Amino acid sequence: MSHDTTRDNKLFTPFNVITGIIILVGLVLTVLRFTKGLGAVTNLDDNNPWGLWIGFDLLCGVALAAGGYVTSAACYIFGLKRYHSAVRPAILTAFLGYALVVFALNYDVGRPLRLPYPIFLSPGTTSLLYEVGLCVFLYLMVLFIEYSPAALEWLGLSKIRNIIVRLTLVLTIFGVVLSTLHQSSLGALFMIAPSKLHPLWYSGYLPVYFFISSIFAGMSMVIFEGSLAHRYLHHKMDETHLKESEGVALGFAKAAAFVMMGYVGIKVIGLAIDNNWHYLATGWGAWFLVELIGFVALPALAYALAARERNLRLARWAAAWSVLGLVLNRLNISLVAFNWHLPSAQRYFPSWMEIAISVFIVTVGIVVYRFIATHMPILYEHPDYRTDH
């Protein structure tokens, strides 16, 4: 297959210039953070010890990286081979997503050299955070192994590649188990703070909410990432990928519509069990309904309509809408509805440097994805291995 290489050789494109500026600013702020401490770059304090880097980089990053386990489970466990072309892009997105979550965590926690301590030297087995850390550590290794056949094909190491491909089903099952554990445990973390989190968002079912929302977030991210790849990396795709892409998007749109309406249903059941109806008449209640109806129920209807009418454009718009809804939910739980009773002067709002570092981390992910997808068989099948599937 011949690829158009002229598009990859221009140096001063708008993308490269903007990316270069973001990375340069990010590196300067990184030096500032690790030499001057958290106080120099963040608005964190004792009332608000977790800020944007946890709320966005970690909670949103882990949920949006769920496309890896959702897609590989659909293809290899449920036998839906028509989604095969979406597996490698989804696994790559998930691998980079989790790697960047660990990268971002260093900014919040500091002391990167002590990153292995909780896993190897002083495990706190009664802690939810330990369970999250262990699962993310193990799942990151699983994702790396799942991604590696693409790199090994690129490097021409066919023997190692063939051994790893035989482990696909085992790795997929292990990945689903680990994802179920840590996606739900991230929600369980907030159950320790019933007095701080607004009752509309606080629930004994937070682990269930987090897990189910990660499923439709993962599907939405696969469609969203696929639509961006189609626009900017179209010249790297083979006929199989182009032919299957519409079916992948519309199939995931249909599944996401079901999961999202199920999510709305269990949120209403949770509201009824906790008897928090009276809060819906307040300003916080209006904001809760904006999140639930505006960013879950409505995109679910858009997904359903897209699947019925086979409207690919609508499915892609619904995917972006759903990704925004997931980000809104995680930020509501970790930042907006957290410490809701404090006066506004004591509420947390991230500094521009925190926002800039988050943008820097996302940009690094985009650059690495672009490099890998441009050079390795992610959006097309390597000609030597087409008969494997």
3 state SS of 338? strand
The reported pLDDT for the residue numbered 9 is: 59
> Tokens for 178?
């680990």
Residues near 124 by Cβ (< 8 Å), separated by ≥ 6?
118, 130
User: CA-CA distances (angstroms) from residue 375 to 5, 149, 332, 364?
Assistant: 10, 14, 38, 17
CB-CB contact of 214 with 69 (8 Å): no
Going from N- to C-terminal start, the domains of the chain cover 14-381
pLDDT tens-digit profile of 324-375?
Answer: 999 999 999 999 999 888 888 888 899 999 999 999 999 999 999 999 999 9
User: Using an 8 Å Cβ cutoff, are 249 and 316 in contact?
Assistant: yes
**In the prediction, which pLDDT does 6 show?**
46
DSSP β-bridge partners for residue 197: 338
What pLDDT is stored for residue 387 in this prediction?
61
In whole angstroms, give the CA distance from residue 191 to residue 67. Answer: 26
Which residues of the chain fall below pLDDT 70?
1-9, 386-389
Burial 346-361, CB ≥16 within 10 A → b, else e = eebebbebbebbbebb
Question: What is the rounded distance in angstroms from the CA atom of residue 210 to the CA atom of residue 329?
Answer: 10
- How is residue 59 written in tokens? 């909670």
Q: Please, what CATH class does the domain formed by 14-381 belong to?
A: mainly alpha
The whole-number pLDDT of residue 388 equals: 60
Could you please report the per-residue DSSP string of 288-302? Answer: HHIIIIIIIIHHHHH
pTM to 2 decimal places: 0.90
pLDDT at 169 (0 to 100): 92
Task: Give one DSSP letter per residue of 80-121, joined into a string.
Answer: -GGGHHHHHHHHHHHHHHHHHHHHHHHHHH--GGGTTIIIII
Q: How far apart are CA 138 and CA 161, in angstroms?
A: 20
Q: What is the pLDDT of residue 329?
A: 96
Give, in degrees to the nearest 5, the angle at Cα 150 between 148 and 151.
Answer: 65
3-state secondary structure of 197: strand
The pLDDT score that the predictor gives to residue 108 is 92
pLDDT of residue 26: 96
